[in-house]
Structure 1
Amino acid sequence: MEHFDNIDDYISDLKGKLQNNPSCGNTHYNLGVAYLSRRDFVEAEREFLDAVANSPKMAEGYVQLGGIALQRGDLEGCLNYNIRATQERPFFAVPWGNIGFVQLQLGDLDKAHLALKKALKLDHDFIQAQATMSSLFISMGDYEEADKLLKKILDKIPNFGPAWNNKAIVDAHFEQWEDAKKCLAKAEEYGFDVEPELKKEIESK
């Protein structure tokens, strides 16, 4: 891979390649990723749409479009793009994990559970899907299962903020308030935005 001093040079180079070969899905995709790294979601979305228009089987393109939809708060759009990705590549774990996440946000716990099980069957070590599964267990009221899964995640990735947040919720449920406080501190230390209500409840104990 060529080396570029900055993202703008890389973007210029990709645009040059597209002038010579405007229907190259991969180049559109790479340009989309470059725009994402600049947080330019409008340009990124345009490039990913061009990528899948030219390479309709490019599941990663649909996943990226789903991510941009989620950024905008468009859960249905995110869901539909990830479903499309699974239709193109049924054994790609990432869109299944994303579908599980969105279904959980939409409150459909059964569909969330099915999608997350599928994601984790395809990739046992998919941390994002494991974390979503722990949120699902909490939503289902199965705190023991959530706790087991969270310990597994944190053994592997001790700086994963969302898992510390969920561990705090589980510890609070079992009224282990000191542990819950430590977990919340860890969640914040690793960049997770803790719900103010949860923080107030735990810190008042």
Structure 2
Amino acid sequence: MTEQLKEDLDKVIEELKKKVNELPDSVMAHHHLGLVYMKAGRIEEAIASLNRTIEIDPLNSDSMINLGAIYFGQGDLEKALELNTRAVKVHPESAQAYANLGLIYQQNNELEKAIENYERALQYNPKLVTAWLNLTSVLTMKGEDDRAVTAARKGLEIEPDSPLGHNNLAVALYFKQQFAEAYKHMQKAKELGYSVDPNFSARLKEHLG
């Protein structure tokens, strides 16, 4: 974080703290303060602000999702799962909450549940690129190569310059033995700054001779 950005965030935090003092039951003020604390890396204060938001408004799914993201980043998958599960109960069409649940289940190696939640996320927001890309990874892990290629292509339709998208498509195509096209997407991922697994790169080049 640059010094200027830190100063700017500190100013916003002070302004929001004043607003919270003036309006102690303002959901918006506590929520925004929590988000700025997150951006500033002041995680414990972010947790406190987002928890306060949920105390005031037990149906605030956005705060649940953001709080869940903090716990996920800390490796507390149980707490992240609890919060995103609560989020979909109060907001059953929350694509982001379902996508987050997919990622949590993926981390727990519960692949069927991960797929189910990624697909539910995409049902509500077909343009959620991260869900397409993570779905590609899980389908590849399960050996469902045709579905993995389809998911990767859909993600790249939305975000053509996604480095991860090109890498994931390269891997899915590799397992379908479509080595030439896989190599093309691997090279594109590299051009876009993705750190391609050198072992994967070497294996792909071997197949191409």
- TM-score band, normalised by the shorter chain? 0.7 to 0.9
Contact 2:132 2:154 in 1 (8 A): no
1:11 equivalent to 2:13? Answer yes
Structure 1 unaligned blocks of 5 or more: none
Deviation at 1:39, TM superposition (A): 2.7
My pick for the range that moved more, 172-181 or 195-204, is 195-204
1:156 equivalent to 2:151? Answer no
My pick for the range that moved more, 141-150 or 5-14, is 5-14
User: Deviation string for 1:90-149 (max 9, x for gaps)?
Assistant: 111110111112112211122122222221221222222122221222122111111122
Question: Counterpart in 2 of 1:50?
Answer: 52
CA shift in 2, pair 1:125/1:53, >3 Å: same
CA distance in 2, matches of 1:33, 1:203: 45
Question: Counterpart in 1 of 2:107?
Answer: 105
Structure 2 unaligned blocks of 5 or more: 1-6
CA distance in 2, matches of 1:189, 1:39: 31
Question: Counterpart in 2 of 1:92?
Answer: 94
CA distance in 2, matches of 1:181, 1:187: 10
Correspondence 1:30-179 to 2 at 5 A: 30-179=32-181
CA distance in 2, matches of 1:39, 1:181: 39
Identity %: 26
Q: Quick one: which of 181, 189, 202 aligns to 1:187?
A: 189
CA shift in 2, pair 1:67/1:195, >3 Å: farther
* Aligned residue identity for 1:89: H
My pick for the range that moved more, 139-148 or 191-200, is 191-200
The alignment's C-alpha RMSD in Å is 2.2
* Aligned residue identity for 1:138: T
CA shift in 2, pair 1:192/1:44, >3 Å: farther
Secondary structure of the residue aligned to 1:6 is helix
CA distance in 2, matches of 1:25, 1:83: 21
CA distance in 1, matches of 2:10, 2:147: 47
* Aligned residue identity for 1:111: K
Deviation at 1:204, TM superposition (A): 5.6
Matched residues, number: 201
CA shift in 2, pair 1:40/1:197, >3 Å: farther
CA distance in 2, matches of 1:79, 1:192: 29
CA distance in 2, matches of 1:199, 1:76: 36
Contact 2:129 2:158 in 1 (8 A): no
Contact 2:139 2:148 in 1 (8 A): yes
* Aligned residue identity for 1:52: I
CA shift in 2, pair 1:39/1:181, >3 Å: farther
Question: Counterpart in 1 of 2:4?
Answer: none
